[in-house]
Structure 1
């Protein structure tokens, strides 16, 4: 992994919030009133996403992305005159599009959901298989009370757990989105055969934090930690509609991105 990418990941933060008319655990899709996600790096926000009502809002932190990647994104002058949607995105302001545009295919037609009575049965079988996998392969240990919370650790072999997880998911492989594939058994043989430990912090009976040290998976000899931390809590503010969001056509944006990624005669790719 390049040092620049490693530094970006080490300093990255992802904040996700969901609002619902009901408690989250009892909510269905129709109960969700707002969702938001923000990806931030050491130099500022990289990407922000909000969905409120019938609209999806996006904003790219262009300057932060350039610092993080060490390269310059194209400006409006670098893009073709008809790349209006891409110019809006790379301008750094908010853009919006219909929320249901994400359920459409590349030609703009609605993708009909498949109805397969066997899917639910396979999902139930997969869930039971995963429960058995965790019970069989994961070692749990009570590590006591500290920092205001009870702590429990879960330790397992990364390769064994990953291989078992993928094997349990294979019955659902046919239901994955087009182009998405599960790794093969040969692929999984390259996974590190090392033990990884997750630390669960529980306060007043509620899970508050999960921390996993990924350093054992790295092929290095130096001592150190590389913690992936998930914190759970109540959101401190409601998801709001951004000011001055420009409406764009998602199909046109997709085409412009494909054109921008394709090599141009006599030059490199735009993105």
Structure 2
């Protein structure tokens, strides 16, 4: 929600600004125009803070009375070392309105900050879905601090060991849990898509042009009328622009703005329940936008200004790749079918049961 509002606000910043803000708003407009002219965009999102800062901000964010929801020091260490990366590329400039004129490829990845090693990655290229997940690396990130956690860790490690003994026909399952690429069976993906659409209230529908414009105009009005824009000078080779938003007022106007089209949004399967404006902190949120050579370089903000559950300053950064590579299909990916997953799990369960029987 916050990221979406941030993007809309910044891309429409010049709509509602005074004379003193015009120059800064024009620079923002040009930067986003240039972004739309690109065929590939890469974005990294990560907390720009130490583990100590993250722990202080989030340690009381869990549900009261539920120990499993507690945010621990180890969780802060893990979060401090991770980044979420998005990639999008097209055969035509991204701002092209007729999406049918070009093929679009997407990627999302959770990776380590230090070496960029992927823990999980999903790519959609040429109507094919590729996936990889390094389960061993994921389990190894969190220290086992009690008997229950140590037992869970041993179970995962044992499953990975047993996966090496799976027959060649189930090799794709072994690959996907050990960080190797697989391509998902197209029929399984289509079936999953259909079920998701049915759950969202109907078949696949697209918003008509009139409705899309209505949504865009509503967002623009709700966000830009609650913002202030100014230049704050140059630092580290980048020009900085500060965008200040009244968070709760923007949330109230935003919720009111989309009321007339809630049913259409729901039918299109794109709606997410907007947060109650009263749950949004009644304070300003400041976005620090960095531009290098007129291009969007980074956006920074304090998450505690947007979320009541964050009880301390928590800087978050959105960094745009300078020269992003196109999203491409990985080579050597084996096909993974749902029946293979079921077969592998049954085989691993049987081996585990057999191992227990032999140990009795």
Q: Could you tell me the TM-score, scaled by structure 1's length?
A: 0.71
Superposition pairs for residues 1-271 of structure 1, below 5 Å?
1=61, 2-3=71-72, 4-26=74-96, 28=99, 31-32=102-103, 34-41=105-112, 44-70=117-143, 72=153, 74=156, 75=159, 77=162, 87-98=174-185, 102-105=189-192, 112-114=203-205, 119-170=208-259, 171-172=261-262, 173-175=265-267, 177=269, 181-183=272-274, 185=276, 188-216=277-305, 217=307, 219-220=310-311, 224-235=313-324, 237-250=325-338
Q: For 2:134 and 2:88, how far apart are their aligned partners in 1?
A: 22
Query: Structure 2 vs 1, CA of residues 183 and 23 (structure 1 numbering), >3 Å: closer, same or farther?
Result: closer
Q: For 2:253 and 2:125, how far apart are their aligned partners in 1?
A: 38
CA contact (8 A) 2:215 2:258 kept: yes
Deviations 1:128-187 (A, max 9, x none): 111112221112121122322221111123333334334434424423539x640463xx
Q: Which has the higher contact order (CA 8 A, sep 6+)?
A: 2
Q: For 2:245 and 2:188, how far apart are their aligned partners in 1?
A: 41
Segment of structure 1 superposing worse, 104-113 or 193-202: 104-113
Q: For 1:252 and 1:62, how far apart are their aligned partners in 2?
A: 18
SS at match of 1:50: strand
Residue in 1 that maps onto 2:25: none
Cα root mean square deviation, aligned: 3.9
Moved over 6 A (4+): 106-111, 254-257
* Aligned-pair CA distance for 1:227: 2.2
Query: Structure 2 vs 1, CA of residues 12 and 164 (structure 1 numbering), >3 Å: closer, same or farther?
Result: farther
Q: For 1:182 and 1:110, how far apart are their aligned partners in 2?
A: 17
Deviations 1:84-114 (A, max 9, x none): 5755532332111256754544778998533
- Which has more radius of gyration? 2
Structure 2 runs not aligned, ≥5 long: 1-60, 62-70, 144-151, 346-360
Q: For 2:326 and 2:278, how far apart are their aligned partners in 1?
A: 45
Query: Structure 2 vs 1, CA of residues 253 and 130 (structure 1 numbering), >3 Å: closer, same or farther?
Result: farther
* Aligned-pair CA distance for 1:21: 2.0
Which structure has more helix as a fraction of its residues?
A: 2
Structure 1 runs not aligned, ≥5 long: 258-271
Which structure has more strand as a fraction of its residues?
A: 1
SS at match of 1:247: strand
